[in-house]
A and B are shown apart, each in its own frame.
Chain A
Amino acid sequence: MQRGEIKNREAFLDKVAGQLGRNRRKDNVIRPKWKHQVQWKVLADLTENELVDVLEKQCEVIHTDFIRTTEKELDAKILQVLQAYGVKTALTSDDSRFSSFGLTNKYQDWKNSSDIDVFKWDIESPGQSRHLAEQADAGITFSDITLAESGTVVLFSSDGKGRSVSLLPSTYIAIIPKSSLVPRMSQAAREIHHQIESGGRISSCINFISGPSNSADIEMNLVVGVHGPIKAAYILVEDR
C-alpha cells in the first residue's frame, strides 16, 4: 500500500511544543507505567463458566438473545434462531471456522428443510457480497474475542470478513466460541497492543459490537434498531 501524505505537520507540532514551553519531542517519550491499574481487577478472578454467566446476564441489558450450546448441537441451534427470526436469506463471513465447526455442510439441509438460503462473503466479488449484505435478512459471523463484562463481540476485518456482514442485515447473529471469552475490553486491547508492538499489522477495521443498534435521541426513549441491526443473538458454543 502506498504511503499517505502528511501535510502541514511541522509548523503545527512546533507550535504545540512551543506552547508547552519546550522543544519538539520526536522520540524517546516513554509511556509510563500508570500508578493506577484498576482495569485489571475487573472480573479478574472469575472462572470461564462464571464469565459465561456474566455474558449471559449482560445480554439481557443489551437486548440480545443468548443461547448456549455444544459444538454438536450448534447447527441445530443456529437453524432454530434463523427460523425464530423468520430469516430467509443469511450471509456469513468467509471464515474457516464455519467449516471447522461443521456448519457449511448443513446449509443444503437448511435450504431443503426450511427454505433458508445461506451465502458466504465472496472475496472475489466484493460488490456482489455487499449487495447480498443489503438484501440478506441476517448476517452471521464468529466472534474473534468476546468481552464478558459488556457483552461484546470483537470482529477483525479481513478479506473474507467484510464490515457489512454484521452491519447491513436487520438481524445479526454472532457465534461465540467459549475459548474467545475474556473478562473485558482491557484484555482485547492488550492483545491488540501486543500485536502492534511486535510489528504486526492490525485489521483496517476492528469492531466491538455489543448487541443491536439503538438510540435514545427522541426524549431519551430507548429504541432498539436504528441504522445497524434491529435484532441480535449470541450463540455461545462450548469448544473445549
Chain B
Amino acid sequence: MPLHVGEKAFKSRVEKGLGNEFMRGAVRSAQGRLQDSRSHAAEELGDWEEWRNLGQEIRQHTMENLDFYLQQLSEKVAERGGHVYFAETADDANHYISEVIEKKKARKIAKSKSMVTEEIALNDILEEQGCNVVETDLGEYILQIDDHDPPSHIVAPALHKNKEQIRDVFKEKLGYLHTEKPEELTLFAREQLRKEFLSAEVGITGCNFAVAESGTCALVTNEGNARMVSTLPKTQITVMGMERIVPTWEELDVLVSLLTRAAVGQKLTSYVTALTGPKEESEGDGPEEFHLVVVDNGRSKILGTEFQEALHCIRCAACINVCPVYRHIGGHAYGSIYPGPIGAVLTPLLAGYEDYKELPYASSLCGACTEVCPVKIPLHEYLIDHRRNIVEKENKSNLSEKLAMQGFHKLAGSAGLFNIATKMAPFLVTPFVRDGTISKGPGPLKAWTGARELPLPQKERFRDWFKHRTKGGQHIAKRGD
C-alpha cells in the first residue's frame, strides 16, 4: 500500500519511536522553533483569526464546487497547450506518467518535493521502468540517498535525522569528504544536484495550489529546486491532489499567505512559482510540454461526508508541529506518509480503518491541532468521529473496551447505580491501597498505575458532605478532611 511506511504493527512503530532518543530530541527542538515562528508570524500579521475565517470560507466554497473549478482548471490548462489527465487511482496516475516518460524515451527524471507522488509511490514505478529518479528537495534527497528512508514530516521530511547521520550517508553513498556542517552538506548537495537538473529530461513537481481561472499551478518553495525542475527539463509533469485548487489568484494570495506563515513562519517563501501551461513557443527556457495529473486516489469518497473539511488541508504541518503525541513518537510511528493529527485524520479516510484503526486514538484530544489549523479543520473532533465510526459502524473496538463502555452506559445513565458504584469505590480498591495510595491497580487501572499513583476514593464523597451539611442546616461549610 503506497501510503504505508515502516513496520506493520502500530505498537511496534510507537515503541521504536519512543526509543529513538535522537529523533525525539530533533523533533522537540524543531517543534519549538516552528511553533515560535508560526505564532510570531501570525501575531505580526495581525487579525489572524479573521485570516483563518477567510481561509476556511474559501476552502468551503471551493470544495462545494470542486467539479466546477476542476473543469475550469483543465480547460484553461488545455487552452494554454498543457495536457490534463484525471486519475481516479494511484495506478491510473502512475500509468499515465510512466507512459509520458516512455514516449519521451526519458531516463533521467528530476523531482521536486511532492507529497502526492509519495502517496502514490510514483518513484517505485518509474524506477522499475529503468528511470533514474532524482529527488531534489534537500530533505528528500537525503532520504533517497539513504536507501529510501521514508519522510517523517510533510514539510521537513528528514526531520528525524541529525547532521552526523547525513554526513555519513553522503560519505558512504557519494564519497563526500567534508564535515557535518549544514552549510558544507548543503553546498555539496547543490553541486551534485546542479548536474542532475541540467541533464534531466523530465521534471516532476507537486502543486501547492492550482488556480482555476487561469490554469496556473503554484509551487511554494525555498530551495529553488522546483524552479529548476520547471525551467530546465523539456517535459514537465505536475501532479496534484484534486483538492489543491483555488478559484482565482485572489484566493491564491490568501492561501499562500496562510500556508507560508503556518508552515514556517515566513511572510512568503523564497519562491512562489506560478506556472501556466508549457513555455510559450518563443520563450527561451521552460518546458516545451506540460502535463497536469489530477489525482483522486480516495479523496472523492471523503466529499459529502462529515469529514469533507479534511480536504481543506493545505499541507502546512502546523498541526504536526504542535502535536505532543507526534513530538514523542515521531512521524514514522504513524505508519503513513501523512503523520501527526492530519495524518491520523486523513490516512484512515484514504486507506481504510483496517490498517489504521489505532491512529485516531493516538491523540489526547488536546485540541492544539485544531487551534492552529490555518483553515480551521476540526481535527480533534474528526478524531472522535473516526472513533465513533470504528466503534459504531465498523465494530472494530475490542471486547474489554466494549464491556467497559456497556458498564459505563448503565452507570452514567442511572443515578441510582452511579450512586452505589461511587459509594462502593473506596471499598473496592481497599485491597490495593498501600501507604495511603494505589500503586498497582487491578484490571483496567493497571495501565494507569504503570506510571502513576492513583489517589484514593474518599469515603465521604462530595455528595455525602453536601447532603449532610444542608440537612444540618449549616450554610457555612467547614473545611473538609
| Nearest Cβ on chain A to B290's Cβ, whole angstroms | 8
Check if B20 is an interface residue, CB within 8 A of chain A. no
Q: Which of B46, B75, B267, B273 has the most CB of A within 10 A?
A: B267
The complex places the Cα of A121 from the Cα of B226 at a distance, in Å, of 22
B329 interfacial contact with A, CB 8 Å: no
Within 8 A of B (CB), among A103-132: 121-123, 126-127, 129-130
Binds A, one of B276-284, B349-357, B450-458: B276-284
Closest to B51 in A: A38
Q: State the majority secondary structure of interface residues on A.
A: loop
B residues within 8 A CB of A26? 68, 71
The smallest C-beta distance from B388 to any residue of chain A, in angstroms, reads 21
Which residue of chain B has its CB nearest to the CB of A227? Answer: B224
Specify which chain A residues have a CB less than 8 angstroms from the CB of B87 in the assembled complex: 8
B residues near A164, Cβ cutoff 8 Å: 231-232, 284-285
Contact present for A213 and B286 (CB under 8 Å): no
**A158 to B, closest residue via Cβ:** B283
Pairwise interchain contact B78-A4, C-beta atoms closer than 8 A:
yes
Distance in angstroms from A11 CB to nearest chain B CB is 8
- Take A36-B50, A123-B282 as given contacts and tell me if A219 and B303 are in contact as well, using a CB distance cutoff of 8 Å: no
Minimal Cβ-Cβ distance residue in A for B277: A204
Q: Inside 8 A of A240's CB, which chain B residues have their CB? A: none
Residues of B within 8 A of A178 (CB): none
Shortest beta-carbon distance from B455 to chain A in Å: 41
Inter-chain CA distance A108–B70, complex, in Å, is 52
Are A217's CB and B227's CB within 8 A?
no
Residue of A12, A34, A134, A209 with highest tally of chain B CB at under 10 A: A12
A185 to B274, CA, bound (A): 13
Count chain B CB atoms within 10 A of each CB in A15, A122, A129, A223 and give the residue with the most: A223
Of the listed stretches A45-53, A70-78, A186-194, name the one at the interface; the rest are far from the partner chain. A186-194
Q: How far is the CA of A228 from the CA of B225 in the complex (A)?
A: 7
Q: Which residues of the partner chain B approach A223 to less than 8 Å between Cβ atoms?
A: 182-183, 186
B30 at the interface (CB under 8 A from A): yes
Say whether B156 contacts A217, CB under 8 Å. Answer: yes
Tell me whether A159 and B283 are in contact in the complex, defined as CB-CB below 8 angstroms, given that A215-B138, A217-B158 are known contacts: yes
Q: Taking the complex as formed, is A84 at the interface, i.e. its CB lies under 8 A from any CB of chain B?
A: no
Q: Is the CB of B136 within 8 A of A227?
A: yes
C-alpha spacing A193/B211, complex, angstroms: 10
Residues of B with C-beta under 8 A to A151: 267
Query: Quick check: A211 and B270 within 8 Å, CB to CB?
Result: yes
B397 touches A (CB below 8 Å): no
The answer to whether B275 has its CB under 8 Å from any CB of chain A is yes
Q: How far is the CA of A205 from the CA of B203 in the complex (A)?
A: 15
Interface string of B214-234 (1 = CB under 8 A from A): 101000001111011011100
Q: Considering only CB atoms, which chain B residue lies closest to A156 in the complex?
A: B274
8 Å CB contact of A19 from B139, B248, B300: B300
CA–CA, A129 and B252, complex, Å: 32
Size class of B's contact patch?
Answer: 35 or more
Contact B279 A218 (CB under 8 A): no
B157 touches A217 (CB 8 A): yes
- Proximity string of chain A (162-202) to chain B, C-beta cutoff 8 Å, 1 when within and 0 when not: 11100100000000000000001110111011001100001
Report if B384 contacts A (CB, 8 A). Answer: no
Whether the Cβ atoms of B193 and A227 lie closer than 8 Å is: yes
Question: Which residues of A lie under 8 Å from residue B301 when comparing CB positions?
Answer: 19
Contacts of A62 in B (CB 8 A): 270
CB-CB under 8 A from B186, the residues of chain A are: 215, 218, 223, 225-226
**B29, B30, B249 — most chain A CB neighbours (10 Å):** B249
Among candidates B58, B84, B96, B272, residue contacting A34 with C-beta atoms closer than 8 Å: B58
A157 to B252, CA, bound (A): 19
Residue B185 at the chain A interface, CB threshold 8 Å: yes
Q: Is B370 an interface residue (CB 8 A)?
A: no
Interface residues of B in 132-191 (CB under 8 A from A): 136-139, 142, 156-159, 162-163, 166, 182-183, 185-187, 189-190
Chain B residues whose CB sits within 8 angstroms of the CB of A219 once the complex forms: 26, 29-30, 162-163, 182
Let me know if A39 and B54 touch, CB within 8 A.
yes
Q: Give the Cβ gap from A61 to chain B, nearest Cβ, in Å.
A: 8
Question: Does B410 touch A at the CB level, under 8 Å?
Answer: no
**Smallest CB gap from A164: residue in B:** B285
Complex contact B224–A228 (CB within 8 A):
yes
A152 within 8 A of B: yes
A220, B66: Cβ atoms closer than 8 Å: no
Say yes or no for A58: interface residue by CB 8 A criterion. yes
In the complex, the answer to whether A129 meets B270 with C-beta atoms within 8 Å is: no
Asked whether, in the complex, the Cβ of A130 is within 8 Å of the Cβ of B278, the reply is no
Contact B190 A226 (CB under 8 A): yes
Q: Is B33 an interface residue (CB 8 A)?
A: yes
Q: How far is the CB of A79 from chain B (nearest CB, A)?
A: 26
Contacts of A35 in B (CB 8 A): 53-54, 57
Q: Which of B253-302 touch A at CB < 8 Å?
A: 253-254, 256-257, 264, 266-286, 290, 294, 296, 300-301
Indicate if the CB atoms of A31 and B248 lie closer than 8 Å.
yes
A193 touches B283 (CB 8 A): no
Q: Are A6 and B33 in contact (CB under 8 A)?
A: no
Residues of chain B with a CB closer than 8 A to A15's CB: 88, 296, 300
B348: interface (CB < 8 Å): no
| CB-defined contacts of A162 to chain B, threshold 8 Å | 283-285
B253 touches A204 (CB 8 A): no
CB distance from A51 to the nearest CB of B (A): 14
Residue of A nearest to B140 (CB): A217
B228 contacts A8, C-beta separation under 8 Å? no
Q: Are B223's CB and A205's CB within 8 A?
A: no
Question: Is B231's CB under 8 angstroms from A218's CB?
Answer: no
Compute how far the CA of A209 lies from the CA of B290 in the bound complex, rounded to whole angstroms.
23
Q: Which 9 A-B pairs have the closest CB atoms?
A: A228-B224, A126-B284, A213-B224, A217-B139, A12-B86, A189-B253, A36-B54, A150-B267, A208-B272
A-B contact pairs, 21 of them (CB 8 A): A4-B80, A7-B96, A15-B296, A19-B300, A31-B61, A32-B61, A35-B57, A150-B266, A164-B232, A185-B256, A186-B250, A192-B249, A204-B277, A204-B280, A205-B273, A205-B275, A205-B279, A210-B266, A219-B29, A227-B136, A229-B224
Q: Which residues of A contact B (CB under 8 A)?
A: 1-9, 11-17, 19-21, 24-27, 29, 31-32, 34-39, 41-42, 58, 61-62, 121-123, 126-127, 129-130, 134, 147, 149-152, 157-159, 162-164, 167, 184-186, 188-190, 192-193, 196-197, 202-221, 223, 225-229
